Amino acid sequence: MKSLKLRRLLLLSRHERKARQEKFDDSITVVRGENDTGKSHLIKSIYGAFGADASVVNEKWSKASVATMVEFSVDGAIHSILRFDDQFALFDAADDLLWTGNSLVNEVGPKVAELLDFTIQLTTKSAALVVPPPQFCFLPFYQDQDRGWDDSWSSFRSLAMIPHFKKSILEYHTGIRPREYYSAQAQRADAQREQNELKAERRALDRATARLRNGRSPVTVTFSPELFGNQIEQLLAELNELRAIFEGVKHRISELQSRRAVLVEEIEIAQVALTELDADVKFTQNLADSQVVCPTCSTVHENDFANRFSLISDADACRGFLAKARYSLAEVEADVARQLQTLQAYNDRIGRIDALLAEKRGEVKLRDMLQDESERIVDATIAAERAVIDGGIVEWQIKEDEAFKLMKAHSSAKRKAEIVAFYAKKLSTFATDLGVTFETAVKKSISPKINETGSYGPRAILAYHFALLHTIREFTTSCLCPVILDTPLQQDQDETNAAAIIAFALKNRPRDMQLVLGTVSLHGAEYNGHVINPQVKESLLREDEFETINSYMRPFINKLLGHDQGELL
């Protein structure tokens, strides 16, 4: 299994011109501060950088439009993930861009899953099989202060997109059904989908076949070309000759049609020009002035006989051209008609072909033989296509059966009993430490319904989640992620219970897993680790850190946006 470790968090609001960065201890980091100093904003931002938004996000924090960057390691390999609005980018240890994405389901989720070995696939409300987005990967490891201590599986947003997710997610994380089971399940789903597509294709082919055969006479004539050897040779010869003739005529008609189009265009242009020249001549004849001033360029023209004669001469030349063009057009159209008539001259030859097709040998006509053979070829083609489809269905059915066998092999009742027994033992121990008790049913299920109220509720949920986390640490085949507890001191815990809760969380951190704990006070508990101490009311981010963090994050944001150099847009 892989192990995700947090190294550093950077927060940048260019809107407020404020920023903050904090590091994380490899074991324990406590985020300690009074209410309204921004502890939860910082804590929610950790998994939020991966696309896992907490169930409740403060409106003022959202308006600050905070870019979030988390530097982390997976089995020692350092990466950084950047979230800028709803765009995401992953970088390696050398700060080189590895990928970008903005769709949580189609891009970010699969990439985070690949990075953390979160290989499960589940079905959405719309019946689509997807790799669940990041919040499902981090679900057992995060308790949000706004919802997590009331309902153990509601710390993130958008969980309802996967109906009935709890059982599958918990069985995956705890190892009751390891990742090999869900890989096989995904392969089975792929095989079933491919089969369904092929079956739909086969149904369409069957419908088309039924339409083709509807009303068709049975195929009764066996194709025997030896009966009509001479006739078939004559048909082929006649067809070859006719094909060459038709190609020649088609080419000639194409040339004539092109010539006709040119002539039609020339005639239209000449008609327009003639109309304009006639109008000019009429205008000069009716004009009393001896000079004409051009309205466009103000050039003065003499309205004398020479100019009027020139206009008349141009008009006459245009009429001559128009007459010649019309004559040429008539010739072209006549030539097209002649070419079409030449095709009619081959009716006799076509008649001979019909006669050959109708000629009998005994009770068999060549036409019938060819028709029946063509229908037989169609039937054979359809049968071959159906055989290919049927073969594909069989292949995918075999793959489905193999995947199902793998699922059964990795779904062991013995293994499940071992894991549930381990979980139940941890739950009993932790319940005693926190002064709570559980019904027997809670100990038999890794996804029980915890209905405790008052100060009892948060302690019951804490005991349950730590029992679950220790089980995950012991048996999971997926990735171990940091445990993040946002203010577990809910429901007015008294001093004794408050101290017990903090001491319990610090003492029972699963081995090799980071703990990030948000609290107002440690209530006397001691630990070896790092502290993050927000102090300013309503202002987690700091003005004095803006320039430094903005300069550091700008190149990463520019790479995300496709601008490797220059100022951030």
The predicted-structure confidence for 334-351, as pLDDT tens digits, reads as follows 887 877 776 666 655 555
Both 290 and 239 in one domain: the answer is yes
Of 447, 442, 463, residue with least CA distance to 508: 463
Mean pLDDT of 269-287: 71
Would you state the pLDDT for residue 332?
81
pLDDT digits (tens, 9 = 90+) for 5-36: 999 999 999 999 999 999 999 999 999 988 88
Both 139 and 284 in one domain: the answer is no
Mean pLDDT of 166-188: 86
Q: Is the pLDDT of residue 360 over 90?
A: no
Q: Which of 26-35, 156-165, 329-338 has the lowest mean pLDDT?
A: 329-338
* Residue 316, in any domain of the structure: yes
How far, in Å, are 79, 120, 415 from residue 113 at the CA level? 14, 8, 25
Would you state the pLDDT for residue 92?
95
| Mean pLDDT over each residue of the chain, to the nearest integer | 81
Both 438 and 548 in one domain: the answer is yes
216 compared with 563, residue with greater pLDDT: 563
The total number of structural domains in the chain stands at: 3
CATH number at residue 336: 1.10.287.370
242 compared with 535, residue with greater pLDDT: 535
* Residue 568, in any domain of the structure: no
pTM here is: 0.66
Would you state the pLDDT for residue 184?
86
Would you state the pLDDT for residue 308?
53
Cα Rg of the chain (Å, integer)? 42
Mean pLDDT of 36-65: 91
Q: Which residues pair with 33 in a beta bridge?
A: none
Count the neighbouring beta carbons within 10 Å of the beta carbon of residue 554: 17
* Residue 101, in any domain of the structure: yes
Q: Are 444 and 467 in contact (CB under 8 A)?
A: no
221 compared with 551, residue with greater pLDDT: 551
Would you state the pLDDT for residue 80?
97
Q: Which of 225-229, 432-436, 530-534, 550-554 has the lowest mean pLDDT?
A: 225-229
* Residue 199, in any domain of the structure: yes
Would you state the pLDDT for residue 292?
52
Both 414 and 546 in one domain: the answer is yes
* Residue 567, in any domain of the structure: no
Q: Report residue 226 as tokens.
A: 């030896």
Q: Which helix (H) or strand (E) holds 391?
A: helix 366-409
Q: Is the pLDDT of residue 298 over 60?
A: no
Cα–Cα distance, 257 to 152 (Å, whole number): 81
* Residue 155, in any domain of the structure: yes
> What DSSP character marks residue 104?
I
Would you state the pLDDT for residue 123?
83
Both 461 and 430 in one domain: the answer is yes
Length of the chain: 569
Q: Which of 90-104, 246-260, 302-316 has the lowest mean pLDDT?
A: 302-316
Both 379 and 473 in one domain: the answer is no
Both 391 and 507 in one domain: the answer is no
Q: Which of 298, 328, 358 is the last residue of a domain?
A: 358
Both 52 and 75 in one domain: the answer is yes
Would you state the pLDDT for residue 46?
96
Both 243 and 386 in one domain: the answer is no
* Residue 47, in any domain of the structure: yes
Both 272 and 393 in one domain: the answer is no
CATH number at residue 500: 3.40.50.300
Of 466, 480, 459, 475, residue with least CA distance to 508: 466
SS3 for 225? helix
Q: Is the pLDDT of residue 302 over 60?
A: no
Of 144, 156, 155, 153, residue with least CA distance to 490: 144
Phi, psi of 34 (to 5 degrees): -65, 170
Which residues form the domain of 258? 226-358
* pLDDT confidence band for 223 (50 / 70 / 90): very low
Mean pLDDT of 527-534: 89
Find all residues with CB under 8 Å of 492, minimum gap 6, and list them: 455
Would you state the pLDDT for residue 362?
42
Q: Report residue 311 as tokens.
A: 């206009």
pLDDT digits (tens, 9 = 90+) for 423-475: 999 999 999 999 888 888 778 888 777 777 777 788 889 999 999 999 999 99
Of 117, 26, 29, residue with least CA distance to 72: 26
* Residue 50, in any domain of the structure: yes
Both 320 and 197 in one domain: the answer is no
Would you state the pLDDT for residue 208?
78
Both 287 and 250 in one domain: the answer is yes
How far, in Å, are 150, 267, 281, 306, 319 from residue 313 at the CA level? 102, 19, 10, 10, 10
Q: Which of 10-14, 166-170, 367-371 has the lowest mean pLDDT?
A: 367-371
Handedness of CA 258, 264, 274, 296 (dihedral sign): negative
Would you state the pLDDT for residue 227?
44
Q: Is the pLDDT of residue 487 over 60?
A: yes
